[in-house]
Amino acid sequence: MTRVTLLAGGVGGAKMAEGLAALEDVELTIIGNVADDDEFHGLWISPDIDTMLYTLSGRINRDQGWGVADEGRRALDTLEELGAPVWMFLGDRDFGLHIYRSQRRHAGDRPSVITADIAERFGIKARLLLPTDDKVQTRVRTAAGWLSFQEYFVRERCAPEVLDLAYTGLADAQLTAEARAAITEAEILVIAPSNPLVSIAPILETPGLRAAIAEARAPVLGVSPLIAGQVVKGPADRMMASLGHRADALGVADLYQGLVQHFLIDNQDAALASEISALGMTPHLADIFMRDAEDKARLARHLVDIAREIIREHAA
């Protein structure tokens, strides 16, 4: 068994996690993103963590990539009838999870422990960790002012141009002991093909996390979330461009300079390989678009094979 620790956001991250979880010779630990979290109707919602829970337990809505399959909206209809804002879609089955999490948070349980318990109850074999038990929230500055992440992402459908990002609470957040150990004890570290600015950055910038990676003996591999200068889903490309980054695999590589040693980019991006090498990172060409379960497992296998080769070379 090889211990793999994956840093991952929501949809792209969960696809990579599913692939790694399918490998029988991998013991998978995921460090997820809590900076998309917010409160709705008095309940604490963790969208990226829930995408991971729903994906790995096989209850995800495959067409959307988030939310539960076979979902209803009767609870939301009642809230709407009562005049509550319902732009954040929360399904009936989904509500059950939010009630459970919120009730335990109110009782004073650590968010990490609550997440681990849910994962276990959902029959998930991988370990799902939080980078911190503290409250960290991404804020998005647009021409209309600062928005919460979900206001930008869901209510405004990512339409406004992103002028700035801030992560409230991050500078004072405490890295969980579990996340630190998962990094220092990993044999392979992987940065998922997630949004580098709003999914990976809030994990990476948790104080102490980069230091743990620097201390770790594991090789650090990344997978580009951008293919031929485009996202598979979401606002990462436009967000990178409006914040002054190149909106392609090279732009993502630039953000991971000094951290990621091996970067998987799509075959279509072969022309970027030499510039990625110049950043001090080894590019690897592959088909990194994950359409189905087979693609996910194939990419995960490829990633682990590359990492094992690096480990072997290092030992020799």
Residues that bind ligand GDP (CB under 6 A): 8-13, 15, 48, 51, 193-195, 199, 223-225, 227, 231-234, 236, 288-290
Q: Is 145 exposed, middle or buried (0-12, 13-18, 19+ CB in 10 A)?
A: exposed
Q: How many CB atoms lie within 10 A of CB 126?
A: 19
Cα–Cα dist 310/42, whole Å:
48
Q: How many CB atoms lie within 10 A of CB 160?
A: 18
The residue among 104 and 162 lying less far from ligand GDP, judged by its C-beta, is: 162
The residue among 186 and 239 lying less far from ligand GDP, judged by its C-beta, is: 239
The residue among 213 and 290 lying less far from ligand GDP, judged by its C-beta, is: 290
| Shortest Å distance, C-beta 295 to ligand GDP | 7
* Paired tokens of 8: 């991952």
The residue among 160 and 193 lying less far from ligand GDP, judged by its C-beta, is: 193
The label of the residue with tokens 């005049």 reads 83
Cα–Cα dist 148/295, whole Å:
34
Task: Kindly report the three-state secondary structure assignment for every residue of 199-223.
Answer: HHHHHHCCCCHHHHHHHCCCCEEEE
The residue among 180 and 296 lying less far from ligand GDP, judged by its C-beta, is: 296
| Shortest Å distance, C-beta 312 to ligand GDP | 26
**Which positions ≥6 away from 209 have C-beta within 8 Å?**
131, 175, 179, 180, 183, 203
Cα–Cα dist 212/176, whole Å:
11
How far is CA 271 from each of CA 74, 226, 275, rounded to the nearest angstrom? 50, 14, 8
| Shortest Å distance, C-beta 153 to ligand GDP | 8
Sign, Cα dihedral of 244, 200, 51, 176: negative
| Shortest Å distance, C-beta 207 to ligand GDP | 21
| Shortest Å distance, C-beta 229 to ligand GDP | 11
| Shortest Å distance, C-beta 47 to ligand GDP | 7
Question: 199, 14 in Cβ contact below 8 A?
Answer: no
| Shortest Å distance, C-beta 73 to ligand GDP | 20
**Computed over its alpha carbons, how large is the radius of gyration of the chain?**
19
Helix (H, G, I), strand (E, B) or coil at 61: coil
Cα–Cα dist 99/110, whole Å:
15
Q: How many CB atoms lie within 10 A of CB 206?
A: 27
| Shortest Å distance, C-beta 221 to ligand GDP | 13
| Shortest Å distance, C-beta 138 to ligand GDP | 10
